Amino acid sequence: MEKQRRIFYILMFLPLPVTLISLVFLPDQIPAHYGSDNQVTRWGSKYETLIFPVVTIIFGLFMLEISKFSANQEKAGEDNEKVSITAGIFSLLIFNAMTGYFLYTDFNKIEDLSSVPIDIYQLIFVLLGIFMIVIGNMMPKLQMNSAIGLRTHWSMKNEITWEKSQRFGRTSSIIAGILLILACCFTKGFACFMWFIGVLILYLLINVFYTYKVAKKY
């Protein structure tokens, strides 16, 4: 658990010193916003790059509060906290990847994101797919709480519905993660984003329907 926390804090604070060092080498004016066509729509000061690292730290603090809250609702053990911290690590990993990506585009003053070797949508959603697979494997260990896991009004009806919902959530999360990774292997850009939306909607609908059915039975 301590090792996980160290990784969490490293990922939480790493973008800030990296960005501060990068400011020395960045041009004064950088691409500050891109449109849906991947073209620059606004240029801004290089100091705007500090916004994202600050957001990363705020998000990390939020995830720490979630982990504490879920741990307090656990009767015994620390599985809820482990899953929360793991979720935070993967989320912060995405923030770190985006920081590196945009520092690259800022340094090179990229006007068209299509010219970048790595597609930002593929990068984010492949990481999200891996995240869903890892978290899915951990879901059956979760004890009932109101912060993390497959939580609906029906899944939290009693211990039986909770346990069965988390086991189903493991399978659905792994399948959704694999589908998302496969989609990113064959699509990119806005198409990759739409695949993510489609998989996410289907994933949510199936999970909610299952918790309803299992609650009706138990």
Tell me if 189 sits within 8 A of 38, measured CB to CB. Answer: yes
pLDDT values of the chain reduced to their tens digit, one per residue, 218 residues: 678 889 999 999 999 999 999 999 999 999 988 887 888 999 999 999 999 999 999 999 999 998 888 777 666 556 778 888 888 998 999 999 999 999 999 999 999 888 888 888 898 999 999 999 999 998 998 888 777 889 999 999 999 999 999 999 999 999 999 999 999 989 888 889 999 999 999 999 999 999 999 999 88
Please give the sequence-ordered ranges of beta strands (E in DSSP) within 18-98, or none if there are none: 29-34, 40-45
Q: Each residue of 86-119: b (16+ CB within 10 Å) or e?
A: bbbbbbbebbbbbbbbbbebbeeebeebeeeeeb
Please name which of 92, 152, 157 lies closest in space to residue 127, comparing C-alpha atoms: 92
C-alpha closest to that of 166 among 177, 180, 152, 179: 152
Compute the residue count for the chain: 218
Cβ atoms of 172 and 136 closer than 8 Å: yes
User: What are 193's two structure tokens?
Assistant: 């984003």
| Adjacent-strand bridge partners of 45 | 29
Record the pTM.
0.81
